[in-house]
Structure 1
């Protein structure tokens, strides 16, 4: 199994379609993503079949980061406990980007937190969209990535490569992971082996700290609005607007609190219970876990399989 990660518009879904040699997942635009949830895509490469996961990006405009991490955590906990081999992560970044955005920084940091330092040797840092930029400009961007933003990961074994937007290039990229040993990610060890709740893992703690900063900002804004309400208590027009703003900030604070609460789940034990329950319902499945189709069926409890990809099963 291989995870495909990156910001919206980096070309994750396009990469998977090129790898498969046909459309198996929907593609988004430069600014929007079609990857709203993890999708498990079986892809035939020669005589072998691999499982590729199209992973949604963090800092999404629709789904909360905590929700996305929970989904990834459930999938990885299931994959680890089912004994499905994980080869690594392909992180895709547009070489056309003139600067490394805040969203890109968050997604890259989450990759590091999910992997842990020991697993970074199984991460490929892939640049895309080379045909859309002059070669010399692309080389300058590539050098900056290598020397600055990706230096930490490269020093710990991650490799850089280019995706040239065709199937041969996609196959070449994936082949670099297929020859590597299988790995266990830091998040998997923390959730399953150490039985930590999600908010005590490195990835969960990173998001929880973000939420704590947001909560403090919302609380400060609420305190400021409370003072304004006292000042304009007798003035109906500004009071109405202040009350509207107060309720909006209160809603944001409640959302942050709810997200923190959701990160307290013991994902590893929850997934173990669901797997055991499924095995009891269909014991024959438990005897066939070494076979890929059975593993896909079991993983389907935790992640979607796009309907246009089921022809590969």
Structure 2
């Protein structure tokens, strides 16, 4: 198994489709919170680890057309590093995409910036760089650099499965949770301030103003609810939940996921050509995806993270 990650629009769906030689992944456009994305990645990686499917490495995609690293891209990269951990970085390939949309000189300059700045830490821990030119041969060439290597266990997997930590106790989860705690506290204050303002203006003759305050308060309350749900999500014992679900699936006849999640078997089939996977583990893993409710959203996080 090879994990493909990157920010929205970096070309993950296109890369996997080229690798599978078909339209097996739809381009995603739904944005999720960092805690939602981290939870789904955690569940998939935990299931993969539990099922005995070897993880050969991680491919991180980045648009070479980006003039600079935006705030969201920097945060995503930090989460990515914390998911992997230093020891697993030797099985990471940092791939630049969309070379057909930029001239060689400009692209080479930005590539050097990535090498000397944003990707310097990971390259210093034996990660590698590569260019994806948009062809199937290029995609296969990148993946083939990983499938012949020794399997790895990511830091997040070790923390969740071996140490049985909750998401917020992991390095990646703690990083996401710090922002959530600050955001939740700020939203609580904003809701409180709006409630007080609503009380003071209850008898005001300006109906438009009272309506606007009501709408603002309702909006901030919804945002506060989402923030609280995100914090609660990080308190989950992911490994225990996934283990229980997988054990339940073992007692049932494996249905596989060949119809429900079409891209996974196609990609797994390619991986199986290069590396052996324990008998039955692929069906177990894909069955768990479909029946646990992740099936339809896995393609989303591949397309949005």
The equivalent residue for 1:203 is: 172
Flag structure 1 segments of 5+ consecutive residues without an equivalent: 37-59, 307-313
Q: CA deviation at 1:131?
A: 1.5
Distance, in Å, in 2 between the alignment partners of 1:23 and 1:197 is 36
**What's 2:249 paired with?**
278
1:91 maps to 2:60: yes
CA distance in 1, matches of 2:176, 2:159: 16
Q: How does 1:253-292 map to 2 (within 5 A)?
A: 253-282=224-253, 290-291=278-279
Structure with more helix by fraction:
2
State the Cα distance separating 1:109 from its structure 2 match: 1.4
The correspondence of residues 74-89 of structure 1 with structure 2, limited to 5 A, is: 74-89=43-58
Measured after TM superposition, the shift of residue 189 of structure 1 is 0.7
What is the TM-score with the length of structure 2 in the denominator? 0.82
Once superposed, what is the RMSD of the aligned Cα atoms?
2.1
Q: 1:282 Cα deviation (Å)?
A: 4.5
Deviates more, 1:85-94 or 1:297-306: 297-306
Q: What does residue 25 of structure 1 align with?
A: 25
- Which one has a larger percent strand, Structure 1 or Structure 2? 1
**1:267: how far off?**
0.8
The 1-side partners of 2:226 and 2:98 are apart by: 37
Offset at residue 230 of structure 1 (A): 5.0
TM-superposed CA distance for 1:22, in Å, is: 2.3
Unmatched 5+ stretches in structure 2? 257-276, 298-305
SS of the aligned residue for 1:205 comes to helix
Which has the bigger relative contact order, CA under 8 A and spacing at least 6? 2
Task: Tell me the CA shift for residue 260 of structure 1.
Answer: 0.8
State the 1:228 CA deviation: 3.2
The residue aligned with 1:216 is: 185
Offset of residue 194 of structure 1: 0.3
Please show how residues 34-73 of structure 1 align to structure 2 within 5 Å. 60=31, 63-73=32-42
1:297 corresponding residue in structure 2: 283
In the alignment, the residues of structure 1 paired with residue 101 and residue 253 of structure 2 have an alpha-carbon distance, to the nearest angstrom, of: 51
How far apart are the structure 2 equivalents of 1:226 and 1:277? 47
Tell me which residue corresponds to 2:12: 12
> How many residues matched?
269
Q: What is the Cα deviation at residue 16 of structure 1?
A: 1.1
